[in-house]
């Protein structure tokens, strides 16, 4: 391809000719641009690097790439070796992964930058541009408008307003710093926090020491198992005595589904059901939306937020979507009068997966710090 084939026809001679791609040495990328000749070999517009410095730079670049190689291997080893679970283990894993990945990317970036700046030849390019300054008339209009606005606002005249405005703006500038600091104090699953996340009120008893009844959400009516008898039926229920406790309900709301016995699969804990009635947490295990859309034919529970889908007939296992674990099953039975009651609390934390990590930490603590 000749140099002329790079040129794009432009009608106006005053407009510099554009060139596609890197020009051959000795030519300018802009036809009419002025190019300085300042290389060893006297090639106009091209400065070759000092060979001694270039060789030194080459060794540095090779070192950077070697660091990238080693850090990448360290990243893969860290991923396999440091398993997550407790907050401490997760922190160690994140530190190892983050450090090795940072080194890998940094080595690559630094190597490429040195390669380009100290090994490749430099081009001196000049491109003519039109003046960016506005014409005199426009500048006058803008200046007049600004001054008129400043006078009308009375910013100079009203000292009290000016000073209180500056006073108000000063602490506002510190707000981002406070918010940044707050990032460091965000709650993490810890010893105290974990206890709150791990338990729901379903593990508690009434004043008389009896297990909590399952109450229909909204009406507050207890549910007699014999009355909840049509297969495919679903109810949203809450714990007796906590109908109006929004903090408790945020974790304790449950859906109740009635199955034919033959529909129930192995994922369901049978001794936690009563006569084909199964109870699951209504709090989606993705990020905690209420998962209460139920499809009778397929037994699918759907969370409307991000479409996580759970198989209610098979222990509410995840069959689609971003949720990472099943909806926890609540152990239920009936009391002497036939009302549905909870046998106890969920045996795993309900809701989003960070609660689950809190649970992992509790398990570690209960074992005396042994992972």
Q: Which of 323, 334, 342, 362 binds ligand FES (CB under 6 A)?
A: 323
The Cα–Cα gap between 3 and 23 comes to 7
β-pair partners for 332: 342
Q: How far is the CB of 346 from ligand FES (least distance, A)?
A: 17
β-pair partners for 238: 215
Contacts (Cβ under 8 Å, ≥6 apart) of 74 = 96, 100, 103
Say whether residue 101 binds ligand FES (CB under 6 A): no
Our CB check for ligand FES shows the closer of 89 and 305 to be: 305
Our CB check for ligand FES shows the closer of 61 and 303 to be: 303
Q: Which of 67, 110, 188, 305 binds ligand FES (CB under 6 A)?
A: 305
Q: How many CA atoms lie within 13 A of 159 on its CB side?
A: 0
Please report, for residues 1, 14, 139, 289, the alpha-carbon distance to residue 10 in angstroms, rounded to integers and kept in the order given: 20, 9, 33, 61
Nearest CA to 330 out of 311, 349, 314, 313 is that of: 349
Our CB check for ligand FES shows the closer of 291 and 316 to be: 291
CA dihedral 310, 313, 316, 321 (to 10 degrees): -20
Q: Which of 96, 188, 289, 364 binds ligand FES (CB under 6 A)?
A: 289
Say whether residue 308 binds ligand FES (CB under 6 A): yes
Helix (H) or strand (E) holding 193: helix 191-198
Q: Which of 277, 303, 316, 332 binds ligand FES (CB under 6 A)?
A: 303
Our CB check for ligand FES shows the closer of 30 and 284 to be: 284
β-pair partners for 239: 214
Decide: 20 and 8 in contact? Cβ < 8 Å: yes
Stretch near ligand FES under the rule CB under 6 A, chosen from 127-135, 147-155, 245-253, 319-327: 319-327
| DSSP structural state of residue 256 | E
Give first-to-last CA distance, the chain, whole Å: 67
Say whether residue 301 binds ligand FES (CB under 6 A): no
The Cα–Cα gap between 74 and 81 comes to 10
Our CB check for ligand FES shows the closer of 238 and 303 to be: 303
Size of the site for ligand FES (CB under 6 A): 13
Residue 90, token pair as written in the block: 């997760």
Stretch near ligand FES under the rule CB under 6 A, chosen from 29-37, 98-106, 121-129, 317-325: 317-325
Q: How far is the CB of 285 from ligand FES (least distance, A)?
A: 8
Q: How far is the CB of 192 from ligand FES (least distance, A)?
A: 26
Q: Which of 306, 338, 347, 371 binds ligand FES (CB under 6 A)?
A: 306
Q: How far is the CB of 86 from ligand FES (least distance, A)?
A: 25
The Cα–Cα gap between 104 and 68 comes to 4
Say whether residue 321 binds ligand FES (CB under 6 A): yes
Name the residues that contact ligand FES, by CB under 6 A. Answer: 284, 286-289, 291, 303, 305-306, 308, 321-323
């Amino acid at each position: 391809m000749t140099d002329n084939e790079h040129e794009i026809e432009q009608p106006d001679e005053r407009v510099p000719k554009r060139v596609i791609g890197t020009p051959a040495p000795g030519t300018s990328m802009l036809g009419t641009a002025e190019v300085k000749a300042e290389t060893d070999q006297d090639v106009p517009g091209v400065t070759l690097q000092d060979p001694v410095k270039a060789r030194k730079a080459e060794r540095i670049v090779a070192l950077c790439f070697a660091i990238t190689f080693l850090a990448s291997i360290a990243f893969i080893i860290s991923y396999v070796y440091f398993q997550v679970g407790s907050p401490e283990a997760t922190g160690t894993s994140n530190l190892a992964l983050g450090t090795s990945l940072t080194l890998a990317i940094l080595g690559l970036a630094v190597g490429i930058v040195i390669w380009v700046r100290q090994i490749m030849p430099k081009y001196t390019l000049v491109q003519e541009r039109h003046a960016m300054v506005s014409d005199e008339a426009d500048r006058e209009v803008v200046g007049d408008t600004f001054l008129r606005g400043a006078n009308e606002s009375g910013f100079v005249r009203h000292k009290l307003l000016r000073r209180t405005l500056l006073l108000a703006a000063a602490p506002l500038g510190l707000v981002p710093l406070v918010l940044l600091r707050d990032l460091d104090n965000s709650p993490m699953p810890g010893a105290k926090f974990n206890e709150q996340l791990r338990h729901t009120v379903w593990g508690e008893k009434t004043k008389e020491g009896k297990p909590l009844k399952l109450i229909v959400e909204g009406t507050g009516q207890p549910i007699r198992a014999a009355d909840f008898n049509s297969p495919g039926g679903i109810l949203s229920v809450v714990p007796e005595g906590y109908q109006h406790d929004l903090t408790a309900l945020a974790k304790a709301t449950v859906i109740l589904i009635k199955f034919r016995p033959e529909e129930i699969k192995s994922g369901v804990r049978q001794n936690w059901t009563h006569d084909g009635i199964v109870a699951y947490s209504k709090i989606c295990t993705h990020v905690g939306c209420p998962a209460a859309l139920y499809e009778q034919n397929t037994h699918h529970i759907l969370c409307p937020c991000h479409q996580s889908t759970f198989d209610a007939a098979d222990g509410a296992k995840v069959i689609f979507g971003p949720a990472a674990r099943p909806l926890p099953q609540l152990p239920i039975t009936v009391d002497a009068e036939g009302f549905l009651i909870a046998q106890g609390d969920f045996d795993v934390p309900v809701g989003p997966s960070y609660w689950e990590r809190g649970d992992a930490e509790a398990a570690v603590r209960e074992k005396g710090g042994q992972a």
